[in-house]
Amino acid sequence: MASPLQLSDAADLIDVSIQDIWLKGSENESQLYKQYFNVETGVVDYYLKDSSLSGLAYAGRVVENAAIISSSPIQGFDKTYTQVAFGLVTSFTKAMWYFGIKKRNLEKVTQELRNACSDLRELRCADRLDNSFSTSYTAADVSGNYAVSIAGGDSVAMISASHTREDGGTAWSNRVTDGTTVNMDWNNILVHLKSLLNILGNLNTYCTI
């Protein structure tokens, strides 16, 4: 299709024998990604980087005349996020806008520019779940193919049997398998993908059932 859109590209819009022209665009902007992603708005920095600090290990018994065991917080993994811009441009000839778009009350077609961005946002967020057993994948759009790294702060995939612990303890797994099929741990279905264990290997209290 030509850009800008010309009368010859959509001749039905100026065909007086056609009474109704409907805009069949994208659905209204959705925000399903907020159900499984942490979302931060108002970001003005090109890079964002976060880290963490643990709590303390389980307390221990204090027997008579014994020293109380000490414990210190442990620094967590850090993760860097880089801002990426997405966009799309559309254009119309003056004749197409006046005799086609405005005549048929189709000015809302310009909303499709925003929908194109929001639809892509949903797709790219879902891609991360679809590829959650990998540390990277190849995405494709109108600009071409590009590599997307989705390794976590511990350098492994989101769903993995080899998540390392910041305290150097035994690696932990957040996947479930019957030997043939591998699935996400039930815990990862929770909003914001909380972990079953904290970085000291302690069970999170909301997971004790």
pLDDT in tens, 154-171: 999 988 888 888 888 888
Q: According to the model, what pLDDT value does residue 197 have? A: 60
| Residue that has been written with the tokens 């492994």 in this structure | 156
For the stretch 178-202, pLDDT in tens is 777 777 655 554 434 445 566 666 6
Cα distance between the two ends of the chain: 58
Mean pLDDT along residues 69-79: 91
Q: How confident is the model at residue 3 (pLDDT cuts 50, 70, 90)?
A: confident
Sign, CA dihedral 154-159-162-164, equals positive
Q: According to the model, what pLDDT value does residue 28 have? A: 77
State how far the Cα of 158 lies from the Cα of 141, in Å rounded to an integer: 24
Q: According to the model, what pLDDT value does residue 138 have? A: 96
Higher pLDDT, 53 or 168: 53
Quickly list DSSP for 34-62.
Answer: GGTS--------SEEEE--B---PPP---
Which DSSP category does 59 fall into? Answer: P
Q: How confident is the model at residue 27 (pLDDT cuts 50, 70, 90)?
A: confident
Quickly list DSSP for 64-128.
Answer: TT-PPPP----B---EEEE---------B-HHIIIIIIITTT-GGGGHHHHHHHHHHHHHHHHHH
Q: According to the model, what pLDDT value does residue 199 have? A: 64
